[in-house]
Amino acid sequence: MSVADLLEGKHVCVCGGAGGVGKTTTSAAIALGMAARGLKVAVVTIDPARRLANALGLDELENVPRRVEPERFAGHLEMRGELWAMMLDPKRTFDELIERIADDPARAEEIKVNRVYAELSTAVSGSQEFTAVAKLFELDRDGDFDLLVLDTPPSRNALDFLDAPGRLTSFLEGRALKSFIRPTGLGMKVLSRGAAPFLSALRRVTGVDLLSDLSTFFGLLGDMTEDFSTRAAQVQKLLRAPTTAFVLVTSAQPAAIDEAVWFRRSLNEGGLPFAGVIVNRVHHDLVADGDLDGVRAELAGTLGDGLAERVAANLADYHVLARRDALGIERLERELGDRPRLLVPYLDDDVHDIEGLLRVHRFLFASESDREALIAQAVS
Amino acid sequence: MPGLLDRRLIFVTGKGGVGKSTVAIALGVLAARHGLRTIVAELASQARIRDTFEHDGETFEEVKLSERLYTISIDPQLAMEEYLQVKTGAVGQALGASRLFQAFAMATPGMRELLSIGKVWELAQPQRRTEGANAYDLVIVDSPAAGHGVGILRTPRTFADIARVGPIAHQGRTIAQTIADPAFTAVVAAATAEEMPVNETLWLRDALAAEALPLDAVIVNALYPSRFTARERGRLRKARSGSLGAPATAALRAALSEHARAQGQQEQLQRLRDGLGLPLLELPYLFAETIGRDELDRLADALGTGIAAPDRT
């Protein structure tokens, strides 16, 4: 099983997982491998390392995919398809969405300068997730690519990606306030008598300015809220389509495994199509517990006692990590059932350049037996 | 400038995956050792801290972990209900019970953050608003990753600006002033000596500066020991070409990997030092299957060498 098998017949690949597990690199390596196999692929990243961005020739000012010149990979891999990449600009994506949905430019401008909107579109929490999905939806609808790979925003909690767009959408739909306030643009009108105590309590808690700002904002949005609802439904449909694959990226550390288990369950509960897990930074050592004593004795002759001692102590430490990782992976496997997991070993350096990307890509796209060989090679 | 443990409120922030929660608890262990009644507050509702202490119980309660050390997992929704009840009595309670209002409040961008940080602020008050609650000497916040972390520090000010007048504006302003008070609040970055976490820490410092907040300390987690010198690396490489058993070959390979990683870390550490112009607090990599109380004690020992005992005890 390789990533190519996981993504057979898929048009969208969403890479989810907690922050700091190598999600961006993995997304780029997936896109690279699928492009090399002949597809036209776009990878949408949120906040890549500067060096990786430079390596891919990414320009944050564009907010549209740009082709990565195949020459960058010359001599390393045959590029049969096309690799495109873009860095998401949440604010700009939001603005463009408003411009598209508003029926006239003047109204779009008014919305864009509204204070509630300004806060909404730049809030760190939520806006990245919301716009990432919005961008994915648009790229899919335009149909210019065979495969879209989305690197989800970095967050503490992998589940934010699933929850945040919905929260923001329900706010934009104004469902919560609609039944109480008719947004006329001139002020609030209480629709029902029963609502009066509610409104007065609301005013006491939030202050009247916040309420009137919200009212103005929803007044400006007007029937656009319907469009938000329609789009949200379409986005949900896309995320649940059989041609969409959620790939979970994690490291083998206990905390990351916890998160991965949660994420897997949430995908299940949400009815989202889960394809498999990629476990990064795995410590393999292929050493048995009993081997450790023999190692020191064997090396003492060549290295001297002092150095041999430290080499053995180091091996013992890494052996603990290998055991820790193996336990974590076992735990993950129990959760996965028949879904595949692909392991990428802990490489000796940070992966932020083309060479590193190619290395990760080799692990992801190798056949099962080739991967075993690659791992053995990496640890001995 | 007062020492770190002389503040009442410490935000620990940093990129995901650097062990921020572990650093936050280790800091809590150290503070408790110095006699401070300390609580570590998690903002995302994840009960990771209690897991480390093998403790279970209800979330959103102040749970005792060990002598003078407590934890709480802050849930925005429960924070809202508590706030409404305390501030507006029966009316607020009715409002809190209204599903419509809850939906509205939870969907309003930034509101979850404001409510969470409001609860943090309440925990740090010498006179607690929560009925029957005792005061803490120190509140350590296990904040969201850097970008969200700055967002959360900015939220009270934003709400004060948007709402202008009224209770939210007032509350927002009060919290913002507390955060901006260097005698009360400190911001600590947790990082590892890797490219992205170093970048993010430097970015964090600038982002905080833009909010007129200083970065008070940087804790670099998970540093590999420097076990081998460059000369020894040569000897290790040479030994690999000899005929050795598989375990011995793997041992040499692991030693060379360790050397490469430790060296890479030292380069990143230097980059961080140069970029910050701040002394760094360094924590060792823990070669352990799980992080339990013993491991936390080791980390607290390491933090104790760089963080002065509080003046107030």
Q: What is the pLDDT of residues A190-225, one digit of tens each?
A: 444 455 666 666 666 666 566 677 777 878 888 888
Instruction: Report the distance separating Cα B257 and Cα B263, nearest Å.
Output: 10
pLDDT surpasses 50 at A184: no
Mean pLDDT for B267-290 is 94
- Better-scored residue on pLDDT, B54 or A312: A312
Q: Is B294 exposed, middle or buried (0-12, 13-18, 19+ CB in 10 A)?
A: exposed
Instruction: Report the distance separating Cα A135 and Cα A130, nearest Å.
Output: 9
Q: What is the pLDDT of residue A135?
A: 94
Instruction: Report the distance separating Cα B201 and Cα B272, nearest Å.
Output: 8
Q: What is the pLDDT of residue A208?
A: 59
Residue A123 sits at the chain B interface (C-beta within 8 Å): yes
pLDDT surpasses 90 at A2: yes
For all residues of chain A together, what is the average pLDDT?
84
Q: What is the pLDDT of residue A189?
A: 47
Mean pLDDT for A59-82 is 89
Of A115, A209, A314, the CB nearest to B258: A314
Confidence of residue B245 (pLDDT cuts 50, 70, 90): confident
Question: H-type helices in A143-187, by residue range?
Answer: 160-173, 175-178
Residue B15 sits at the chain A interface (C-beta within 8 Å): yes
Of A75-84, B110-119, B196-205, B248-257, where does mean pLDDT reach its minimum?
B110-119
pLDDT surpasses 60 at B23: yes
- Among chain A residues, the shortest Cα distance to B17 is held by A20
- Determine the 3-state secondary structure of A177 from DSSP: helix
Residues of chain A with pLDDT > 70, as a percent, come to: 84
For β-strands B69-73 and B63-66, DSSP reports them as antiparallel
Q: Which residues of B touch A206 (CB under 8 A)?
A: 163, 166-168
Q: What is the pLDDT of residue A186?
A: 40
The model's pTM: 0.88
Q: What is the pLDDT of residue A308?
A: 95
Of A209, A321, A380, the CB nearest to B166: A209
Q: What is the pLDDT of residue A192?
A: 45
- Among chain A residues, the shortest Cα distance to B229 is held by A307
Residue A157 sits at the chain B interface (C-beta within 8 Å): yes
Confidence of residue A311 (pLDDT cuts 50, 70, 90): very high
Q: Pick the residue of A279, A284, A317, A320 with the most B CBs within 10 A to test the interface with B by mutation.
A: A317
Contact call for A175 and B103, based on CB within 8 A: yes
- Among chain A residues, the shortest Cα distance to B109 is held by A120
pLDDT surpasses 90 at B32: yes
Q: What is the pLDDT of residue A197?
A: 63
Q: Which residues of A touch B271 (CB under 8 A)?
A: none
Query: Strands across the sheet with A82-87, in order?
Result: A66-67, A82-87, A40-45, A147-151, A12-16, A244-251, A274-282, A341-345
Mean pLDDT for A14-41 is 92
Q: What is the pLDDT of residue A190?
A: 44
pLDDT surpasses 90 at B113: no
Cβ neighbours of A324 (radius 10 Å): 19
Residue A367 sits at the chain B interface (C-beta within 8 Å): no
A317-341: pLDDT as tens digits:
999 999 999 999 999 999 888 889 9
* Token code pair at residue A99: 């411009």
For all residues of chain B together, what is the average pLDDT?
87
Mean pLDDT for A236-245 is 94
DSSP annotation of A190 reads: B
Contact call for B251 and A314, based on CB within 8 A: yes
Q: Which residues of A touch B98 (CB under 8 A)?
A: 198
- Among chain A residues, the shortest Cα distance to B142 is held by A156
Mean pLDDT for B283-302 is 95
Confidence of residue B175 (pLDDT cuts 50, 70, 90): very high
